[in-house]
C-alpha cells in the first residue's frame, strides 16, 4: 500500500484529524523543505541527495493535498 493509499484509508476513520494534518501540510512552502535540507551537513548529504529529497517531499505533499478537496465533501 502506498503512503497516499494509507493516508486515504485513515481519513475514513477520522476525517477531522486528516483535515488537520492536511492543513498543516498546506502551510509548508517549498522554502521550508529547502531550509531543512540545507541544514544537513554536506558530509551527510550530497546535493544530488538534497535534490532528490526535495522532489520527493514536494511531490508527496502535492499528492496528499489533492485528497483535501475530496474530504471536504466526504
Do 5 and 65 touch, CB atoms closer than 8 A? Answer: no
pLDDT at position 28, please?
94
Query: How far apart are the C-alpha atoms of 70 and 33, rounded to whole Å?
Result: 26
Helix then strand count (H, E) for the chain reads 4, 0
Residues near 37 by beta carbon (within 8 Å), at least 6 away in sequence? 45, 50, 53, 54
- Per-state percent for the chain, helix, strand, coil, to nearest 5: 80, 0, 20
| For the chain, domain boundaries | 3-72
pLDDT at 70 > cutoff 80: no
pTM for the full model? 0.78
Q: Which of the four pLDDT bands, split at 50, 70 and 90, describes residue 4?
A: confident
How far does CA 14 lie from the centroid of its chain?
Answer: 18
Amino acid at each position: 500500500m502506498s503512503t497516499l493509499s494509507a493516508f486515504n484509508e485513515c481519513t475514513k476513520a477520522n476525517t477531522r484529524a486528516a483535515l488537520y494534518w492536511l492543513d498543516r501540510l498546506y502551510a509548508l512552502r517549498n522554502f521550508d523543505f529547502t531550509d531543512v535540507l540545507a541544514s544537513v551537513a554536506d558530509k551527510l548529504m550530497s546535493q544530488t541527495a538534497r535534490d532528490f529529497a526535495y522532489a520527493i517531499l514536494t511531490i508527496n505533499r502535492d499528492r496528499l493535498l489533492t485528497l483535501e478537496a475530496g474530504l471536504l465533501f466526504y
